[in-house]
Amino acid sequence: MSVISPDRVTPIERRGDIWMKRDDLFEVRGLRGGKVRTCLHLATTGQGTRLVTASSRHSPQAAITAAVASELGLSARAYVPAGDMTPQLEHAEALGCELVRVRPGYNTVVASRARVDAFDSRQTHIPFGMECEEAVEMTSRQVRYLPDFVRRIVVPVGSAMSLCGILRGLRRHGDMDTRIVGVQVGADPLPRIERYADPFWQAQITIVKSPLSYHDAFPKPTLHGVTLDAVYEAKCIPYLQPDDLLWVVGVRPTGSV
């Protein structure tokens, strides 16, 4: 079993004129971030000897699952769209992940194949995009350590699980004043926010959409000496104001965008 606890608290750093919540420093076998924490939690509370997931070809999901499986002495299987290999899938395969190509490779199709496989074989399912209640809860537990003087949090929004977790954590501790700016980098997150966020989330959350498409990398992803994920966190840079807290959800391995 892993000696790393999913409840390990990641640090908050002052960088230049802003704060950073460094969830990218939660690491398992070179994969870093809050989604790694969620995967580790699901794996250590799951069943069987295999982790089964679904991933887009450009997402770190398969590599995250493979890293956690390797750490725990389990096997990993990822359902992915048919098509050319990507750096992310190569990284997953190097960590021992079995890749199952699916055609047509729509997200709904690969996610369904993984879910059915895990259920039928009684193995641990790692949800597509880490979309699950556990992801929200694991992130919420990190919020209690935020400085009291932080009044605005900026976070990238893909699946919106981190966003929902931050809101839950704030409200759990009675904070109805801190504002959250979610920078949308992918598909419309509203259906997932409505499903997983605390009621009346609009009172604290503002969603802004990055003008860059999901697959476009932000041209200068380094901020105050920290290398950010070019597809996610770096797209928050234009929206940061002095004394904001940037919630760094994670970062994919160098060179694998």
Based on the domain organization, do 106 and 170 belong to the same domain? no
Calpha distance 173→147 (Å, rounded): 12
Based on the domain organization, do 114 and 24 belong to the same domain? no
CATH number of the domain residue 25 falls in? 3.40.50.1100
List pLDDT tens digits, range 30-88.
999 999 999 999 999 999 999 999 999 999 999 999 999 999 999 999 999 999 999 99
Q: What is the DSSP string of 217-252?
A: PPS--EETTEEPPTTTGGGGGGG--TT-EEEE-EEP
SS (H, E, C) 73-137: CCEEEEEEECCCCCHHHHHHHHCCEEEEEECCCCHHHHHHHHHHHHHHHCCEEECHHHCCHHHHH
Domain residue limits at 97: 36-130
Based on the domain organization, do 25 and 69 belong to the same domain? no
Does the structure show a pLDDT above 50 at 256?
A: no
Based on the domain organization, do 25 and 138 belong to the same domain? yes
Does the structure show a pLDDT above 70 at 255?
A: no
Based on the domain organization, do 46 and 102 belong to the same domain? yes
Q: Is residue 162 part of a domain?
A: yes
Based on the domain organization, do 68 and 184 belong to the same domain? no
List pLDDT tens digits, range 162-219.
999 999 999 999 999 999 999 999 999 999 999 999 999 999 999 999 999 998 999 9
| CB contact at 8 A, 162 and 249 | yes
Domain total of the chain: 2
Based on the domain organization, do 158 and 245 belong to the same domain? yes
